[in-house]
């Protein structure tokens, strides 16, 4: 489902964030990427999402070579992914419902189908009762769950999350980890980066470690 083949990423300043990474993530698998700060975890996820492109090697997602896609193709690829990154990119001038509905509006879903899907996603993350709430009234954990609702509202086959439990207390973190487990149990492929050792133990998934941009032995 996601395959990195001798993949490297060098930034404009010359820093090589990833160095010759080769790995495969199978359909329906849940994989956690770990490593020290600056190890290349976020870069790996951004390459999988087509947000950044590899400098060398290839990244295949759903049998498509991400580097060979033009912008319209990249947009279609991203529409079929659920993305949860540390910079939430939530819209504080819109309420909870409107934030989750945004991907469906872009994809031109009907008003009725949008309402049904948004409320189903909010119910899944425990925010259905807050659908009209302004974002300024949400706690950090609720904002994180809102990001996850927005990521899954399109019912993606692949969910990519960067430090989804970062800066959350233990109770909220466990709720987030259990959400990812539940998505995986219905067939969603999950790729996440995390420092959360407690969450990793709870996930019981395959673990990949990066050290200075390379896969650890």
**What CATH number does residue 37 fall under?**
3.40.50.300
10-25 residue pLDDT tens: 998 889 999 999 999 9
What domain count does the chain have? 2
8 A C-beta contact, residue 59 and residue 66: yes
32-49 residue pLDDT tens: 999 999 999 999 999 999
CA 150, CA 103: separation in Å to the nearest integer? 7
- What domain range includes position 32? 1-80+157-217
Match 């309420």 to its residue by tokens.
95
Distances from the Cα of 158 to the Cαs of 69, 94, 139, in angstroms?
A: 18, 26, 27
Q: Would you tell me how many other CB atoms lie within 10 Å of the CB of residue 137?
A: 10
Verify that 8 and 58 share a domain, yes or no: yes
Verify that 112 and 179 share a domain, yes or no: no
Q: Which of 140, 155, 170 is the last residue of a domain?
A: 155
CA 49, CA 76: separation in Å to the nearest integer? 11
132-183 residue pLDDT tens: 999 999 988 899 899 999 999 999 999 999 998 877 788 888 888 998 999 9
Q: Which of 111, 135, 155 is the last residue of a domain?
A: 155
Backbone angles phi, psi at 162, to 5 degrees: -105, 110
Residue 56 lies in a domain: yes
Residue 85 lies in a domain: no
């Amino acid at each position: 489902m996601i395959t990195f083949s001798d993949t490297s990423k060098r930034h404009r300043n010359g820093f090589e964030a990833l160095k010759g990474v080769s790995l495969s993530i199978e359909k329906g698998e849940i994989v956690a990427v770990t490593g020290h700060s600056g190890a290349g975890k976020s870069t790996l996820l951004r390459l999988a999402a087509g947000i950044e492109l590899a400098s060398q090697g290839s990244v295949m997602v759903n049998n498509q070579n991400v580097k060979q896609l033009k912008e319209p193709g990249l947009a279609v690829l991203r529409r079929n992914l659920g993305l949860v990154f540390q910079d939430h990119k939530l819209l504080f001038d819109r309420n909870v419902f409107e934030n989750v509905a945004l991907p469906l509006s872009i994809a031109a879903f009907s008003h009725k189908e949008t309402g049904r899907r948004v409320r189903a996603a909010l119910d899944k993350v425990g925010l259905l009762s807050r659908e009209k709430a302004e974002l300024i009234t949400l706690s950090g954990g609720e904002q994180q769950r809102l990001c996850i609702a927005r990521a899954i509202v399109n019912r993606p086959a692949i969910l990519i999350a960067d430090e989804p439990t970062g800066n959350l207390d233990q109770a909220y973190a466990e709720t987030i980890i259990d959400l990812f487990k539940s998505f995986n149990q219905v067939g969603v492929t999950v790729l996440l980066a995390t420092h959360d050792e407690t969450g990793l133990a709870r996930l019981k998934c395959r673990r990949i470690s990066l050290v200075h941009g390379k896969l650890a032995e």
